[in-house]
Amino acid sequence: MGAQERSLREVVRETLLRRIGDGHLNPGERVMEASLARDLGVSSIPVREAIRELVAMGVLEAERNRGAWVRKVSVSETVEALQARAALESLAAQTAAERLKGRGAPLRRVVRQIVAAARKRDFVAFQHHNQQFHRMIVEASGNGVVLRLWDSLAFEVRTRFVLEHVTSVDPVTLAKEHEPIADALDRGDAKKAAALLESHSQDMVRSLEQQARAQDPSARRTGDARRKSRSRHPASIH
């Protein structure tokens, strides 16, 4: 596959992820190849490649002669993805801080974009810039395995449950939580950055855990067990 085809495939993939995240494509809804190719002004080849990639990532499901559709994601699965992503970002911060020391201007620029989107209550832009900010940190770690794992969670952390949480709280306060993270990385303070990244996700995780427990009694028992385990074995950042 040439560089141009690969680039077009990535455009299609990101477009599909964005449409799923902002609710334009709902769980169970079919992805119309011809319509998508027409909307984006591309051939069917990058569309099919992107769909195959998203099926492999678990974003879409597909069957022969039925096409592809958006996979349904539970609240519990969203919570687990957020927890995994927080752990990956804390790990990434350990090495990213050294590389970003004194080079925090690009991160701060994205933070300003997140805050601006929050003030306008433009939650599609909010999610886009938020993803950009967190991915920049993971990329700066230089750890390709962590980046691939982080990217694999892109779908689960862009579900309607996450969007509903963002719209239910003060989005400006949430957006400004990114400022001290950028400051810590600019200082090269890996421990502080890792701690801030972890705490940044906790409110959302707790909110979604409550939803999961309300919908599924087994999730309630699992959540209770997790809290008891954390109380006996407090988490530490090395």
Which residues contact residue 65 at a Cβ distance below 8 angstroms, ignoring those fewer than 6 apart?
Answer: none
Whether 87 contacts 162, CB under 8 Å: no
Whether 92 contacts 141, CB under 8 Å: yes
Distance CA 14, CA 160 (A): 16
Task: Tell me whether residue 221 is exposed, middle or buried, using C-beta atoms within 10 angstroms of its C-beta: 0 to 12, 13 to 18, 19 or more.
Answer: exposed
What mean pLDDT comes out for the span 63-68? 92
**What CATH architecture applies to the domain 75-232?**
Up-down Bundle (1.20)
State the pairing for strand pair 60-63/30-31.
Answer: unpaired
pLDDT at 23 exceeding the cut of 80? no
pLDDT in the model for residue 212: 78
pLDDT in the model for residue 223: 52
Q: Which two tokens stand for residue 84?
A: 């995994």
As a CATH number, domain 3-70 is: 1.10.10.10
For residue 63, what are the β-bridge partners?
67
pLDDT tens sequence across 138-160: 999 999 999 989 988 877 887 77
Distance CA 54, CA 156 (A): 12
- The structural domains of the chain, with segments of one domain joined by +, span 3-70, 75-232
**Could you tell me the pTM of the whole model?**
0.75
Distances (CA, A) of 178 to 144, 149, 171: 23, 22, 12
